[in-house]
Amino acid sequence: MTHPVADALPLTVGIDVGGTNIRASVVDGDGEVLDTVQSPTPHSERALEDALDRAVRELRRRHRIGAVGLAVAGFISGDRSAVRFAPHLPWKDAPVAARLTARLELPVILEHDANAAVWAEYRFGAAAGGHNVVLIAIGTGVGAALLIEGTLYRGTHGVAPELGHLQVVPHGRACPCGKHGCWERYCSGTALAETAIELLATDPGRSTVLAREASRDPGSLTGRRVAGAAQDGDPVALAAMADFAHWLGLGLAFVSDIFDPDLIVIAGGVSSSAPLFLDDAREEYARAVTGAGHRPLARIRTTQLGEAAGMIGAAELARAVLGEPGRRSSRVARSGR
Ligand SMILES: [Zn+2]
């Protein structure tokens, strides 16, 4: 019954602006991706905005679009109109929303990519039904986002929560952020490879598949490769995975001590290897959280929307600026299912 109403609304475009690729999708009010265009990310500000403009125009030829949302891996201004700084993108204190709005003549909103992802999971995926939700995106590093009573929490300056750079090991591994011992140095795809290399260095006589590969080509040891070798039962890879699970569980205990969430969503590239680490991480979390054994624990789930979450969330946040009355009725109908 809700479909005629939903179909009458303009669609929105969500764009994942990554360091390597731009992926722009038309998304409907049920979070379904209807159409996607992709292109490499240009390295200059002007060329990047040209590419975003082109992507939206192409999608607009095929769909009626009402607003655009950008999911950006970087710091966004508190009013979500400007990109302050994004390590892999050319924007620095750039009023991106205003510039693109002027070019496209459409409302454009910006959102931190992890915030967009948690919003998508909350509306359509693994965080549906959650109240206080933490999303931990584990890939090259660790990204995080926080929903408090169903509202995105962005902090005073729009940069919260930076959980990946909590220091868990004083004087620990060096981090590109300039500090040492950050959580993501022990709990990321990069960390998996680094731990495997350390394990091999402490016992160079080990003759496992991973050890032979590493001695032939040390650069071949990526997090993905370590996860693959763990899947095949390689003892060094399994030990690296166990170390990762320990740090994940410990970090989730910190996160629970601070936020007391009811739901934690594990996302990012490493989440696809969850069967190799999630049970161990849950056990460590249950052991390490303050009040262990005398308090309810957060449910821990893996992402349902995967890599598309940022795009879908940005599109859904853009939909909120449309503010049409029909939307409200379709949303009430949906929330009742
Ligand atoms: Zn750091």
The secondary structure of 3-14, three-state, reads HHHHHHCCEEEE
Which residues have a beta carbon within 5 Å of ligand 1, which is an ion?
A: 165, 175, 177, 179, 182
CA of 128 to the centre of ligand 1 (A): 30
CA of 87 to the centre of ligand 1 (A): 13
* Structure confidence at residue 159 (pLDDT): 80
Is 124 inside any structural domain? no
One domain for residues 160 and 21: no
pLDDT tens, residue by residue, 59-107: 999 999 999 999 999 899 988 899 999 888 999 999 999 999 999 999 9
One domain for residues 49 and 71: yes
Q: What domain range includes position 96?
A: 4-119+306-335
Q: Tell me the percentage of the chain whose pLDDT exceeds 70.
A: 93
Out of 51-55, 153-157, 235-239, 326-330, which region has the weakest mean confidence (pLDDT)?
326-330
Spatial contact of 316 and 14, defined as CB atoms under 8 Å apart: yes
* Structure confidence at residue 204 (pLDDT): 76
Mean pLDDT across the stretch 187-201? Answer: 94
Q: How confident is the model at residue 7 (pLDDT cuts 50, 70, 90)?
A: low
Is 214 inside any structural domain? yes
One domain for residues 295 and 310: no
State the helix-helix crossing angle for 235-259 and 189-202, rounded to 10 degrees. Answer: 130
> Where do runs of H (alpha helix) occur along the chain?
3-8, 45-62, 96-104, 113-124, 189-202, 209-216, 223-231, 235-259, 278-288, 309-319, 325-335
Is 27 inside any structural domain? yes
- The tokens describing 321, both together, are 């600026």
One domain for residues 10 and 107: yes
Spatial contact of 142 and 183, defined as CB atoms under 8 Å apart: yes
Count of domains in the chain?
A: 2
CA of 186 to the centre of ligand 1 (A): 11
pLDDT tens, residue by residue, 211-248: 888 888 888 899 999 999 999 999 999 999 999 999 99
One domain for residues 136 and 258: yes
CA of 175 to the centre of ligand 1 (A): 5
pTM for this one? 0.91
Is 11 inside any structural domain? yes
Q: Is the pLDDT of residue 335 over 80?
A: no
One domain for residues 164 and 83: no
CA of 252 to the centre of ligand 1 (A): 17
One domain for residues 255 and 313: no
Is 126 inside any structural domain? no
Q: Which of 134, 162, 189, 76 is CA-nearest to residue 303?
A: 134
One domain for residues 324 and 235: no
Q: Tell me the percentage of the chain whose pLDDT exceeds 90.
A: 80
More confident call, 162 vs 51: 51
Is 125 inside any structural domain? no
One domain for residues 151 and 87: no
One domain for residues 23 and 139: no
CATH at 95: 3.30.420.40
Is 226 inside any structural domain? yes
One domain for residues 329 and 240: no
Q: Which of 3, 28, 96 is CA-nearest to residue 312?
A: 28
CA of 165 to the centre of ligand 1 (A): 4
Is 232 inside any structural domain? yes
CA of 57 to the centre of ligand 1 (A): 38
One domain for residues 64 and 135: no
Amino acid at the residue 300: I
Q: Is the pLDDT of residue 333 over 80?
A: no
CA of 163 to the centre of ligand 1 (A): 9
pLDDT tens, residue by residue, 25-50: 999 999 999 999 999 999 999 999 99
Q: Is the pLDDT of residue 1 over 70?
A: no
